[in-house]
Amino acid sequence: MRTVVLTVLLSFFAVVPVAAQTKSLADLANYRGADREEMLKAGAKKEGKLTWYTSLTAHRDIANVFEAKYPGVRVETYRAAPSDLTRRLLSEAQSKRSIADLIETTPTTMMIMRDSKLLAPYFSHHLSNFPDDSKEEMDKSRVFWTTDRESIVGMGFNRNMIRAAEVPKSFADMLKPEHKGKIGVSGDTTGVRFVGAMIAAKGEEFVKQLRNMDVKMHMISGGAMHELMAAGEMPMSISIFRNHVLAGKLKGAPTEWVALDLSPANAGSVALPAATNSPHAALLFIDFLLSPEGQKIFEEKFRFATSTKNYGFKRWYPEKGLTLEQYEKAEERWKKLLHDLVRR
C-alpha cells in the first residue's frame, strides 16, 4: 500500500509544474518553465480579475484585447496622471491596503516605488527582445520594470507653413537666422526633457545660444502643442510627440515629425507591485504587454514607438542610470535653462 501511495505522489509531482508547487511571489515571478503561459492562465482564472493602475489614456482598449485573449480574467482599470498615481500608491501602501495588481506608468513613479521597496522583480521570456536601456534590471534575468511604450519627442512642423527642406535636421540647424521667432516649445515636462537631450548631445553652452532665437514658450502639454501647430499657430516646435503626429496625420492634420541629434523618450513602463493580490493575472498581463502581439497593438493602433524596433534615430532615456534624487536635480537644471531661453 505504501508503495502505491508513494508511486501516486511521485507521479503527481512529476506532472504538476514547479510553479504550481510553490506559493511565493518571488518564485512565481521568476518561473521560466515552458508551461509558463498555461500555468499563469490557470492561476489567473482562479483569481478571476486584476486591478491595473496606469497613466495610459487608451487603457481600456488594451484591457479589452487581453480579456478577449484570456476569457475568465477580468481587468479593472484605474487611470490617472503619474503624479496622482504615485500619491495613491504610496497612500495605499502606508495604510496597508494595496489595490493595484499591476502598474504601468512613467519611470519616475517606478523609481519611487522601487526605492520604497514596493516592487517585485520579475522575469518574462520576452525580456530578451528589449534593449538594456529600456529595462531597469534587478539582475541579468529579472527586472523591476520594462518600457512597454514610448512617446518620442522631436521637431514637429506644419507643412502648410514651412517646407520640409527648410526644417532643422539637427540641433545646430536650429541656430540658423532664418528660424528666429519660428520655433515653439512646451513649458511642461516635454520641453524640459528636450532641453536635457540637447545638453546631453551638445552641452549647456549650446543651449544658451538658443536665447538669441526668440523661442516661443507655451505653458501647455506636448499634445496641446501639436494641436496649436496643426491649427497654424506656429510653423514648428521642438516639443512634439512622434505618435501625436502619426495619429494626427490619419485625421488630416498638416503636420510632420523629424528626429534631431538625440530624441528623448517619454516611456511608459510596466511593473509588478510587491503586494499584488492577483500575481498570476498580473504576470500574464505583463507577458502580454511585452509580447510581439502587445507591442504591435501599441505601435499600430496607438502609434507609440516600441523599444524592440530601430526607427533610424537615436533615442535617449533621461532617467536611465540615475537615482531619483539625481534625476530630480537634473530636471530642475533643465527647467531653469528652458525658462532662461525665453526670458527677455
Mean pLDDT by 10 residues, the chain (344 residues): 35 38 81 96 97 94 96 97 96 95 96 96 97 92 96 97 97 96 94 96 95 94 94 96 96 97 96 97 98 96 95 94 92 95 76
If asked whether residues 245 and 124 sit together in one domain, one would say no
**CB atoms inside a 10 Å sphere around CB 6:** 10
pLDDT attached to residue 12: 33
In a domain, 17, yes or no: no
pLDDT attached to residue 140: 87
pLDDT attached to residue 4: 34
pLDDT attached to residue 65: 96
pLDDT attached to residue 8: 31
Classify strands 263-273 and 119-120 as parallel, antiparallel or unpaired: antiparallel
Quote the CA–CA distance of 203 and 229 in Å, as a whole number. Answer: 28
If asked whether residues 159 and 201 sit together in one domain, one would say yes
Q: How many domains does the chain have?
A: 2
If asked whether residues 204 and 303 sit together in one domain, one would say no
**pTM, two decimal places:** 0.88
If asked whether residues 337 and 207 sit together in one domain, one would say yes
If asked whether residues 239 and 207 sit together in one domain, one would say yes
Phi first, then psi: give them for residue 239, nearest 5 degrees: -130, 55
What residue numbers bound the domain in which 84 lies? 22-150+266-311
If asked whether residues 163 and 238 sit together in one domain, one would say yes
pLDDT attached to residue 18: 40
Helices (H), 174-234: 189-202, 204-209, 222-230
Residue 12 has which C-alpha cell?
A: 503527481
If asked whether residues 54 and 144 sit together in one domain, one would say yes
* H/E run at residue 266: strand 263-273
**Helix, strand, coil percentages, rounded to 5, for the chain:** 50, 20, 30
pLDDT attached to residue 5: 32
In a domain, 55, yes or no: yes
* H/E run at residue 243: helix 242-250
In a domain, 121, yes or no: yes
If asked whether residues 261 and 275 sit together in one domain, one would say no
pLDDT attached to residue 341: 87
If asked whether residues 55 and 204 sit together in one domain, one would say no
If asked whether residues 92 and 179 sit together in one domain, one would say no
**CB atoms inside a 10 Å sphere around CB 9:** 10
202: Cβ–Cβ under 8 A, 6 or more apart, which residues?
171, 172, 261
Q: How far is CA 85 from CA 5, 100, 128, 283, 325, in A?
A: 52, 10, 29, 20, 19
In a domain, 49, yes or no: yes
In a domain, 317, yes or no: no
If asked whether residues 242 and 336 sit together in one domain, one would say yes
In a domain, 208, yes or no: yes
Instruction: Identify the CA nearest to 197 among candidates 225, 238, 149, 156.
Output: 238
In a domain, 306, yes or no: yes
Instruction: Identify the CA nearest to 215 among candidates 175, 172, 184.
Output: 184
If asked whether residues 140 and 273 sit together in one domain, one would say yes
Instruction: Identify the CATH number of the domain in which residue 48 sits.
Output: 3.40.190.10
> Cell 501516486 identifies what position?
8
139: exposed, middle or buried (Cβ count in 10 Å: 0-12, 13-18, 19+): exposed
In a domain, 113, yes or no: yes
